Amino acid sequence: MTTHPFDVRTEAFEAQRDRLRAVAYRVLGSHVDAEDVVQEAWMRLVRQDAATIDNLAGWLTTVVVRLSLDLLRARGAHP
């Protein structure tokens, strides 16, 4: 039985989820916002061509940090 690429991506993401949530929490200071950012990272991963990602952990970390910083900037603009 072959493994579907989506299943492999899901497993790889789930292996990173706790670490990504911790990174987002450190930036944002909110568990709810951290979870939202991690979910958005998952949605972006699903839309991304997996063949273009050489380092999944690095790619996900970059996405989570950028999304977190964007959220912080938005908070600053709209307190």
What distance in Å separates the CA atoms of residue 60 and residue 4, rounded to the nearest whole number? Answer: 20
* Contact (Cβ atoms closer than 8 angstroms) between residue 67 and residue 42: no
Q: What domains does the chain contain, in order, with CATH numbers?
A: 5-77 (1.10.1740.10)
Q: Which of 9, 38, 10 lies closest to 22, judged by CA?
A: 38
pLDDT tens by residue, 28-77: 999 999 999 999 999 999 999 988 999 999 999 999 999 999 999 998 86
Q: CA 72 to CA 66: how far, in whole Å?
A: 10
With a threshold of 0.95, does the pTM exceed it? no
- Euclidean distance between CA atoms 69 and 51, whole angstroms: 26
